[in-house]
A and B are shown apart, each in its own frame.
Chain A
Amino acid sequence: MELIAGESKLTFKESESLLVMEGSMRLANLMEYDKVSLFIMECAEKSPSKLTIDMRTLSFLNSSGITTLSMCILHLKKKLTPSLLFLGTTDYAWQDKSLKNFTKLWADAKVQID
């Protein structure tokens, strides 16, 4: 299952409950991010206990994107499942700065930065 969003691509590997986000994601506003939000929630529906979101090849994510992901986390927090694991890298400095905020929104949203 794939979604192209601007200069980014999201690929969901259902057998691994793995969502890979790659490219540069800088859409104009929250409305434009609606399709991304819907895609992530669909991936969550198909992931029984844990969804891993691999962002290690996502070079940029703007504040509207951070907000969209945060809203997805808060939505899943209400449902209590699936738990989330975000994979990040120190190669893209924004990830080291911004991803840690996700863990403050929900104890079951973990971030692993290598």
Chain B
Amino acid sequence: MEDIVIGDYDAIAETLPAEGFLQLIVKPIDMVTYWRRCGSLSNFVANFYRNPYNVDALDENLISTIFNELIENAAKYSTKRDSDIYIEVKMYNTILKMQVQNVCNQKNFEALKKSMGKLLDSDYNLDDLYMKRMMEKSSADKDSGIGLLMLLKDFPVKVGVKLSSSEDGSYQVCVQAYYFLRESVLKGQMMF
């Protein structure tokens, strides 16, 4: 088993007790067959934490938007049958940790490794990277491939990824997004 960790993975230690803990398991085949479930699940997660954690409507809209990108990626790039998507959402005071874990094939695994390496490398200017990718898009492309880039560039999140491969040929991806509630209040107080 080989693990590659990129970005702010496990920025909050697993052992730290959370104030809120939501755990879900879904099948990729269910999500891609009934695509609206991605949005429904995202809205549910955001609404679940709206109360009593002082999450206001603006935060709820952003949480749903952020989570939706994570679950859409997991649904699209998972091994469709005989695999699960594991979801954990934890609240730590004013930080919401969203974690989505899935199994994929080697091609998607390598593509994500390359892409995340660029996104989380501080030598790259994310604005420039975003514009470059938009300019390179054509109508023949099936996927936009800008979801995580968009989150990192414009949203108050930290992102980390763990990529695990094993000798039996299985490839596992675990993406974590840490969302900072009420960013205007928290400016200058971030724990990273």
Residues on A close to B: CB < 8 A?
Answer: 6-7, 24, 26-31, 34, 37, 59-60, 62-64, 66-68, 70-71, 74, 90-94, 97-98, 101, 104-105
Q: A63-B69, A97-B154, A97-B155 are in contact. Are A92 and B61 (CB under 8 A)?
A: yes
Cβ contacts under 8 Å, A104 to chain B: 127, 131
Check B39–A24 contact: CB distance below 8 A.
Answer: yes
| Chain B residue total in the interface (Cβ 8 A) | 32
Give the contacting residue for A6; candidates B36, B76, B143, B154; CB below 8 A. B36
Q: A6-B36, A93-B59, A94-B62 are in contact. Are A67 and B142 (CB under 8 A)?
A: no
Interface flags for B137-152 (1: CB within 8 Å of A; 0: not) read 1010111101100100
**What would 15 more interface pairs be, CB under 8 Å, given A67-B146, A94-B65?**
A26-B35, A26-B38, A28-B35, A29-B143, A30-B141, A30-B143, A59-B61, A66-B144, A67-B144, A74-B134, A92-B61, A93-B61, A93-B62, A93-B65, A105-B131
Q: A64-B143, A66-B150, A93-B58 are in contact. Are A7 and B131 (CB under 8 A)?
A: no
Check B72–A67 contact: CB distance below 8 A.
Answer: no
CA distance A31 to B76 in the complex (A): 14
Check A30–B65 contact: CB distance below 8 A.
Answer: no
Which chain B residue lies CB-closest to A96?
Answer: B58
Between A and B, 23 residue pairs with Cβ closer than 8 Å are: A6-B35, A6-B36, A26-B68, A28-B32, A28-B35, A28-B72, A29-B76, A29-B144, A30-B142, A59-B61, A60-B61, A60-B64, A60-B68, A62-B69, A63-B144, A63-B146, A64-B143, A67-B137, A74-B135, A91-B57, A93-B62, A93-B65, A94-B62
Which chain B residue lies CB-closest to A100?
Answer: B154
Give the contacting residue for A70; candidates B58, B134, B143, B155; CB below 8 A. B134
A-B contact count (CB 8 A): 85
Residues on B close to A: CB < 8 A?
Answer: 32, 35-36, 38-39, 57-59, 61-62, 64-65, 68-69, 72, 76, 127, 130-131, 134-135, 137, 139, 141-144, 146-147, 150, 154-155
CB A58 to nearest CB in B, in angstroms, measures 11
Cβ contacts under 8 Å, B58 to chain A: 90-91, 93
CA distance A68 to B141 in the complex (A): 11
Check B154–A101 contact: CB distance below 8 A.
Answer: yes
Check A71–B62 contact: CB distance below 8 A.
Answer: no
CA distance A104 to B69 in the complex (A): 22
Check B59–A60 contact: CB distance below 8 A.
Answer: no
CB B5 to nearest CB in A, in angstroms, measures 24
CA distance A24 to B65 in the complex (A): 11
